[in-house]
Amino acid sequence: MPTVSMTVNGKRVSAEVEGRTLLVELLREHLGLTGTHVGCDTTQCGCCTVHLNGTGVKSCTVLAASCEGATITTIEGLATEGKLHPMQEAFREHHALQCGFCTPGMIMSAVDIVRRKGNDLDERTIREQLEGNICRCTGYHNIVIAIQSGAAAMKQSRPSGAPPG
């Protein structure tokens, strides 16, 4: 079985994987990072969203073997130095989660939306950009509010000159 090496949440990791092993399987089963969830089998729900080299991807649709040398951030790696990421704070502050199953993917997608669309997000943009993430609990109301507020907070917390996200 081929070995694949990558950096996950700042740590170098290597694992033996089969050709068919998905990135999400590597994360959940080999690395024990169970914060990334699997909600479907058709790349629709977004529960599995992580950042691959800084870009949001659905880890259920990425082969682990294709991630050689990649840098991955999962929900477990979003908080730094014991401090929650502003988007995590915003989700908690605005009650943007109920069961919490979609939440890791939602938060990772939200951070990616900010990367793509900037910190000043209007409601329409957020709703459209959430096309790839399904939540069954919240009716999205508080998620949209949280993303708007988290995006703004990311601007403030960002050291000047650093790229968003």
| Footprint of other proteins (CB under 8 A) | 18, 20, 28, 33-42, 44-45, 47, 74-76, 78-79, 84, 88, 91-93, 95, 97-104, 107, 123-124, 126-128, 130-131, 133-145
CA distances (Å), 119 to each of 7, 68, 113, 127, 148, in order?
Answer: 27, 31, 9, 15, 8
Q: Which does 58 bind (CB under 5 to 8 A by kind): other proteins, ligand FES, none?
A: ligand FES
Count the alpha carbons within 13 Å of 54 in the hemisphere toward its beta carbon. Answer: 6
**Residue the block writes with tokens 């650093």:** 162
Q: Which does 60 bind (CB under 5 to 8 A by kind): ligand FES, other proteins, none?
A: ligand FES
The four Cα atoms 112, 53, 165, 106 give a dihedral, to 10 degrees, of 30
Question: In the complex, what is the shortest distance from the CB of residue 132 to other proteins, in angstroms, rounded to a whole number?
Answer: 9
Among 23, 26, 27, 45, interactor with ligand FES by CB under 6 A: 45
